[in-house]
């Protein structure tokens, strides 16, 4: 069954060589067409020898391509993304859904303790400019992250791709820039094409996706993979927003006091241009403060008054 093959590839991914990962990535992305492949055709598609394909399949427990195809025969569907659990008789209870959400959030927080996390945070904090792109139903995810990041550091933009060439990402970025691509299944065609173009140009690349996107690590080491519910793969966005919050917190810590002056300047400007209504937060101003008479700026005095967390 396709699910069995998928589980084998997922569970053993870290044990595969670079060539084996290329084969595994192709198998995962083309499960429906595998019954029509041979060892030679698979090798040609991923640029390895037929012998390498055969050794890899034996490593997975198959005698050869024929044995794998026998397992797949009669099961031409893979991860139906739009099934209705209530019609299948497998509808989860509210408690089960909550438990699944909690496990996913725990996995997101675990990412913040992973080896890649600090490197990604440093890149987001130090890059000269950051371009963020996301796609299809998840377009709002990139817009959200770009807007949040704009609040704490300069030169951040959401790349819509409406010019048909992602010029702002591919032409205007340099090796001192950073590109963040966000997508989950079903992946937009733009997602992979843009990722490959960014990597080919030597632009630092961060990919935020789900745990099925195994080709991501072939293009960059800066990858954050979120486990998602199989029953809600196309509208389960809570984990992504939790991840954005953690990343933003990391960037704020990396930038230190400069962040607070920027946020307060933005808040003052929004008050002047737009204005805020409703009760103010404790300690906040509802109107711009009058200028100081001692020669210091309001923001400078606020920074000096802010208690330090260092050494605590």
| Tens-place pLDDT, residues 64-115 | 888 887 777 644 443 444 444 555 455 557 787 788 788 888 889 999 988 8
Find the length of the chain.
Answer: 312
φ, ψ for residue 156 (rounded to 5)?
-125, 135
Please give the pLDDT value at position 8.
Answer: 86
Q: Which residues contact 265 (CB under 8 A, 6 or more apart)?
A: 299
Among 12-26, 145-159, 169-183, 191-205, name the one with the lowest average pLDDT: 12-26
The verdict on 276 and 227 lying in the same domain is: no
The verdict on 246 and 118 lying in the same domain is: yes
User: Is the predicted pLDDT of residue 278 greater than 70, yes or no?
Assistant: no
Q: Can you give the pTM of this predicted structure?
A: 0.66
The verdict on 211 and 163 lying in the same domain is: yes
CA gap 67, 70 in Å, rounded: 5
* Residue bearing the bigger pLDDT, 196 or 33: 196
The verdict on 178 and 251 lying in the same domain is: yes
Residue 241 pairs in a beta bridge with none
Structural contact between residues 208 and 182, judged by C-beta atoms closer than 8 angstroms: yes
The verdict on 164 and 189 lying in the same domain is: yes
The verdict on 247 and 296 lying in the same domain is: no
Please give the pLDDT value at position 226.
Answer: 87
CA gap 25, 48 in Å, rounded: 13
Please give the pLDDT value at position 80.
Answer: 44
The verdict on 133 and 209 lying in the same domain is: yes
User: Is the predicted pLDDT of residue 2 greater than 80, yes or no?
Assistant: no
* Percent of the chain with pLDDT strictly greater than 90: 40
pLDDT band at 269 (very low <50, low <70, confident <90, very high): very high
CATH of the domain at 127: 3.40.50.10490
Asked if the structure places residue 77 within a domain, the reply is no
The verdict on 128 and 246 lying in the same domain is: yes
Q: What is the dihedral of CA 219, 50, 29, 183, to 10 degrees?
A: 0
The verdict on 177 and 66 lying in the same domain is: no
The verdict on 262 and 186 lying in the same domain is: no
The verdict on 246 and 262 lying in the same domain is: no
Please give the pLDDT value at position 96.
Answer: 77
CA gap 222, 43 in Å, rounded: 28
Asked if the structure places residue 80 within a domain, the reply is no
Please give the pLDDT value at position 244.
Answer: 96
Dihedral sign computed on CA atoms, order 80, 81, 86, 91:
positive
Residue pLDDT, tens place only, 213-266: 878 888 999 999 987 655 555 556 888 999 999 999 999 999 988 898 999 999
Please give the pLDDT value at position 105.
Answer: 87
The helix (run of H) or strand (run of E) holding residue 209 is strand 205-210
If one counts the domains in the chain, the total is: 3
CATH of the domain at 48: 1.10.10.10
Q: Residue range 197-207: average pLDDT?
A: 97
Asked if the structure places residue 81 within a domain, the reply is no
Domain residues for 273? 257-305
Q: How is 3-62 classified by DSSP, letter by letter?
A: HHHHHHHHHTGGGS-HHHHHHHHHHHH-GGGGGG--HHHHHHHHTS-HHHHHHHHHHTT-
């Amino acid at each position: 069954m396709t699910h069995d093959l998928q589980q084998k590839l997922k569970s053993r991914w870290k044990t595969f060589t670079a060539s084996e990962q290329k084969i595994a990535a192709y198998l995962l992305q083309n499960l429906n067409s595998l019954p029509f492949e041979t060892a030679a055709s698979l090798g040609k598609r991923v640029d390895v020898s037929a012998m390498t394909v055969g050794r890899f399949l034996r490593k997975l427990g198959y005698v050869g391509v024929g044995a794998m195809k026998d397992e797949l025969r009669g099961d031409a569907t893979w991860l139906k993304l739009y099934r209705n659990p209530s019609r299948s008789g497998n509808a989860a209870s509210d408690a089960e859904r909550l438990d699944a959400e909690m496990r996913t959030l725990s996995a997101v927080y675990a990412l913040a303790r992973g080896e890649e996390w600090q490197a990604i945070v440093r890149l987001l904090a130090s890059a000269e400019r950051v371009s963020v792109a996301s796609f299809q139903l998840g377009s709002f995810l990139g817009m959200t992250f770009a807007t949040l990041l704009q609040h704490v550091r300069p030169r951040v933009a959401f790349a819509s791709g409406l010019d048909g060439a992602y010029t702002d990402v591919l032409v205007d970025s340099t090796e001192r820039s950073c590109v963040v691509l966000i997508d989950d299944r079903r992946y937009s065609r733009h997602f992979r094409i843009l990722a490959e173009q960014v990597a080919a140009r030597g632009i630092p690349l961060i990919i935020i996706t789900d745990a099925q996107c195994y080709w991501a690590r072939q293009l960059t080491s800066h990858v954050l993979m979120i486990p998602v519910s199989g029953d809600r793969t196309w509208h389960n966005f809570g984990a992504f927003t939790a991840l954005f919050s953690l990343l933003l917190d990391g960037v704020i810590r990396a930038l230190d006091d400069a962040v607070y002056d920027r946020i307060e300047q933005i808040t003052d400007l929004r008050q002047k241009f737009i204005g805020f209504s409703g009760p103010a937060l404790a300690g906040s101003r509802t109107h711009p403060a009058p200028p100081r008479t001692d020669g210091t700026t309001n923001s400078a005095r606020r920074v000096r008054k802010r208690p330090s967390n260092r050494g605590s």
